[in-house]
Structure 1
Amino acid sequence: MEKNDGVLTEEEVSSCLSNLGHSATGLEHVYQFLSAPGRNLNNVSILCNYVHLQKLELPYNKIKDLSCVSHMPYLIILDASHNQLTDFFGFQPPKNLKEVNFSHNQMSVMTHLSAYSSLSKLNLDYNCFSEIGGLLHCASLTHLSLAHNKISCISGLDKLPIKDLCLRGNQIEKIENVETLRTLQVLDLSLNRITSLSGPAESPSAGLHQPGE
Structure 2
Amino acid sequence: MEMTHKVTFRQVTRIVFNVIIQYLNFDDIMSLITALNLQTTRLDYGTIKLAHLNQVEYVFKNKHHFNYLGLVIFGVNLEEKKIKFNKSVKRLKLNRIQIYYIPDLNHLSNLQRLKITNNPIKTINKNISTSIEHLNLSYNKIRSMKNIDRLTRLKTLDLSCNYITKINYLDYSTQITELDLSNNGLQIIDGLSKLIHLTKLNLSNNKIKKIQNLAVLGNLKELILINNKIENLENLDNLTKIVYLNLCCNKVNRIQHLNNCRSLVILDLRNNKIDKIENLEWNRNLEILLLANNHISLLDNIFHLKNITVLDLGLNPIYTVDDKKLKDCFIHLQKLYLPNLPTLFN
Structure 2 residue 296 is matched with structure 1 residue 209: no
Look up the SS of the partner of 1:36 in the other structure: strand
Deviation at 1:201, TM superposition (A): 2.9
* Partner of residue 127, structure 1: 206
- AA partner of residue 68 (structure 1): N
State the secondary structure of the residue aligned to 1:201. Answer: coil
Matched, 1:11 2:94: no
Give yes or no for the alignment of 1:168 onto 2:248. Answer: yes
Aligned equivalents of 2:200, 2:167: Cα separation in 1: 15
Counterpart residue number, 2:121: 41
8 A contact 1:179–1:204 mirrored in 2: no
Q: Does 1:72 align with 2:160?
A: no
Deviation of the 1:29 alpha carbon: 5.5
TM-aligned CA distance change 1:174 to 1:34, over 3 Å: same
Offset from partner CA, 1:123-166 (integer Å, 9 cap, x none): 00000100011111112110010010000000111031100000
**Higher alpha-carbon Rg:** 2
How many Å apart are 1:18 and its aligned residue? 5.0
Q: Percent identity?
A: 25
Instruction: Give CA-to-partner distance per residue, 1:89-142, whole Å, 9 cap, x none.
Output: 343331211001100000001125221110010000000100011111112110
1:61-86 C-alpha deviation (Å, 9 max, x unpaired): 10011222100110001110000000
Q: Normalising by the residue count of structure 2, what TM-score does the alignment of the two structures yield?
A: 0.54
SS at match of 2:212: coil
CA contact (8 A) 1:194 1:211 kept: no
CA distance in 2, matches of 1:179, 1:149: 23
Could you tell me how far 1:87 is from its partner in structure 2? 0.9
Is the 8 Å Cα contact of residues 187 and 207 (structure 2) preserved in structure 1? yes
SS at match of 2:147: helix
1:59 aligns with 2:138: yes
How far residue 10 of structure 1 moved from its aligned partner, in angstroms, is 7.7
Counterpart position of 2:69: none
Residues of 1 paired with 2:89 and 2:284: CA distance?
42
Say if 2:170 and 2:194, in contact at 8 Å, map to a contact too: no
Structure 1 residue 2, shift from structure 2 partner: 5.0
Consecutive unaligned residues of structure 1, counting only runs of 5 or more, are 21-27
Tell me if structure 2 keeps the 8 A contact 1:159–1:182: no
**Which residue of the partner structure matches residue 56 of structure 2?**
none
Describe how 1:135-146 pairs up with structure 2 within 5 A. 135-146=214-225
Q: Show structure 1 runs of 4+ deviating over 3 A.
A: 1-4
Whether the 8 Å CA contact 1:112–1:133 is kept in 2: the answer is no
Query: Contact (CA 8 Å) 1:74, 1:96: kept in 2 or not?
Result: yes
